[in-house]
Copies of this chain bind each other. A is one copy, B any other.
Amino acid sequence: MSGRKPVEYRDAPPAVRAVFDDIKATRQVEDVNNFWKHLANDPLTLKRTWESVKEIMAPGALDVRTKEMVYLAISVSNGCEYCTASHGAAARKAGMTDAMFGELMAVVGMANETNRLANGYRVPVDEAFNR
């Protein structure tokens, strides 16, 4: 199925190369991850996705490590293996230690548990939380 074959830099049209170049410069890496190579089958989505990720993941009110840990948490919760692997690596690179990873997984697991307990008992939202 087309769309499944990664697009390598050497074969990429200029619009794709421009995005790859910006990813490499921004992240200071020698090559882009498989995610971007596959997304390059749709240059418009590649560009929009990268620009959104770049803007969202830049340090702001939240630091990069926190953002990457949240990204990892969501990916784990959704069962996305690719994103669990890639954002796990990114979070480590941004300073997540083994201890932080362990606590992060504990929170992700617990939240998934109590989300269902709240659903199952059909708990009404406390008035105090709606103010």
> Nearest chain B CB to A13's CB is how many angstroms away?
14
Number of copies: 6
9 additional contacts (CB under 8 A) given A48-B106, A78-B79, A79-B119: A1-B89, A3-B98, A3-B105, A35-B121, A45-B105, A56-B107, A66-B69, A71-B110, A79-B79
CA distance A121 to B40 in the complex (A): 10
CA distance A71 to B81 in the complex (A): 20
The 8 closest A-B pairs by CB, nearest first: A42-B102, A61-B99, A74-B111, A85-B129, A80-B115, A113-B113, A109-B113, A38-B121
- What are 15 A-B pairs at a CB distance below 8 A? A2-B101, A3-B105, A4-B121, A41-B102, A45-B105, A56-B107, A57-B107, A67-B107, A70-B73, A70-B107, A78-B112, A79-B79, A84-B122, A85-B126, A88-B129
